[in-house]
């Protein structure tokens, strides 16, 4: 038998390699999606992009106030290999963790990025469990347990599910721009009673408060003309919650596919079109870290609910410069709310996210 050359072996194996590299396209987010819970709290690997956002306001018995953010991202890679090995990189997992310490006027944030792999980072498809090293979010019955620690801060929190999931958009679809697929499937758990502990340096404090969770999955949300968004997750003391997002175009205009949702005390929802609300900022703050100017001190109005809400940050500097993970700078912070709803005085708390002011929002993976 003649000895085959390395080149001949490579040529003989080439059809096998090519057969294993049949690309499987990711699904686009289109209308008609029917949510099923608790299944849809889990991961959706048939879509390219997915994230779970937890934010909340906490207070200790002595009156100290904190805001927190814990976010898990899944970014699907090009799906060209059929191998079932647990070491195949099907997804990259990113995570952000931030604490706003109002008393100390200090904002701390941290980030992680890891490949998929046994015990490193991942998500499950049959319910909520997302983790990135020692940061995790896991549903246990009617509660979600959050844990994260980094340097001098840590959280160990239990969140009760509270209101039913609020599904945003219409027909199971949250449209972000014109055209099929420029959308996501998106819902929120807008009011979850929260208790647990927070560690600040060597001090461990018991805390209570309320949290908000966003879960969103899709494949190709934005268009080339869009720059980013302004997002508001508002919890009012009358029991009403409000989600709003404004999609900003690169020319400074607001995309007409911007929208929002009002979540009533009984979990019923009202979809808001972009023409049914307005948001305007009274001033800007310039970050000493990135040099980016962010709009702050917002006034949000919803005329058909006789609502005018003034939104004030607990700290101006709540910017995350995530050069190691998503590769962008964005502002996401704890704010207070005051104003009127249906003509009556209200107060509340909220989180605001501002993206695309430093650059067009595209995660650099």
Distance of alpha carbon 92 from alpha carbon 306, whole angstroms: 44
30 domain-assigned: no
Q: Is 224 exposed, middle or buried (0-12, 13-18, 19+ CB in 10 A)?
A: exposed
Asked if 176 contacts 147 with a C-beta cutoff of 8 angstroms, the reply is no
203 domain-assigned: yes
Decide if pLDDT at 14 tops 60.
Answer: no
Q: pTM for this structure?
A: 0.89
Residues 98-144 have pLDDT tens digits of 999 999 999 999 999 998 777 799 999 999 999 999 999 999 999 99
Q: Would you say the C-alpha torsion 230, 235, 240, 241 has a positive or negative sign?
A: positive
347 domain-assigned: yes
17: helix, coil or strand? helix
Per the structure, the count of domains in the chain is 1
23 domain-assigned: no
Residues 148-158 have pLDDT tens digits of 999 999 999 99
Neighbours of 274 (CB within 10 A): 17
- C-alpha to C-alpha distances, 252 to 169, 195, 227, 258, nearest whole angstrom: 23, 41, 9, 14
- C-alpha to C-alpha distances, 202 to 60, 130, 153, 154, 198, nearest whole angstrom: 15, 27, 9, 10, 10
Confidence (pLDDT) at 17: 41
Query: What CATH number does residue 270 fall under?
Result: 2.40.370.10
Q: Is 327 exposed, middle or buried (0-12, 13-18, 19+ CB in 10 A)?
A: middle
20 domain-assigned: no
Decide if pLDDT at 67 tops 70.
Answer: yes
Distance of alpha carbon 157 from alpha carbon 173, whole angstroms: 31
Distance of alpha carbon 210 from alpha carbon 225, whole angstroms: 36
- Tell me 272's DSSP state: E
Decide if pLDDT at 289 tops 60.
Answer: yes
63 domain-assigned: yes
19 domain-assigned: no
Distance of alpha carbon 82 from alpha carbon 42, whole angstroms: 23
Give the domain extent around 109: 37-354
9: helix, coil or strand? helix
14 domain-assigned: no
Confidence (pLDDT) at 87: 56
């Amino acid at each position: 038998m003649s000895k085959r050359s390395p080149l001949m072996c490579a040529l003989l194996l080439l059809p096998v390699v090519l057969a294993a590299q049949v690309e499987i396209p990711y699904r686009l987010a289109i209308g008609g999606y029917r949510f099923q819970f608790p299944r849809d709290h889990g991961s959706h690997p048939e879509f390219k992009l997915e994230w779970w956002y937890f934010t909340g306001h906490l207070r200790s018995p002595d009156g100290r106030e904190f805001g927190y953010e814990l976010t898990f991202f899944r970014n699907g890679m090009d799906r060209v290999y059929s191998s079932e090995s647990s070491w195949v990189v099907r997804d990259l997992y990113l995570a952000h963790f931030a604490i706003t310490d109002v008393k100390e006027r200090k904002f701390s944030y941290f980030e992680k990025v890891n490949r998929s792999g046994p015990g490193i980072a991942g998500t499950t498809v049959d319910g909520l469990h997302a983790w990135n090293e020692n940061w995790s979010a896991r549903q246990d019955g009617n509660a979600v347990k959050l844990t994260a620690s980094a340097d001098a801060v840590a959280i160990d929190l239990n969140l009760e599910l509270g209101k039913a999931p609020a599904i945003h958009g219409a027909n199971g679809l949250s449209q972000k721009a014109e055209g099929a697929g420029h959308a996501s499937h998106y819902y929120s758990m807008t009011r979850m009673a929260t208790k647990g502990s927070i560690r600040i340096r060597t001090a461990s404090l018991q805390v209570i408060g309320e949290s908000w969770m966003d879960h969103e999955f899709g494949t190709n949300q934005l268009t080339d003309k869009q720059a980013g968004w302004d997002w508001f997750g508002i919890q009012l003391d009358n029991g009403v919650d409000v989600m709003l997002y404004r999609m900003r175009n690169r020319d400074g205009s607001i995309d007409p596919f911007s929208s929002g949702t009002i979540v009533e005390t009984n979990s019923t929802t009202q979809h808001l079109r972009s023409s049914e609300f307005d948001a305007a900022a009274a001033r800007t703050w310039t970050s000493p870290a990135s040099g980016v100017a962010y709009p702050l001190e917002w006034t949000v109005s919803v005329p058909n609910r006789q609502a005018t809400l003034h939104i004030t940050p607990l700290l101006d500097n709540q910017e995350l410069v995530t050069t190691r993970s998503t590769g962008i700078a964005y502002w996401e912070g704890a704010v207070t709310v005051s104003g009127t709803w249906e003509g009556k005085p209200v107060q509340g708390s909220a989180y605001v996210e501002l993206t695309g002011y430093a650059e067009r929002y595209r995660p650099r993976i």
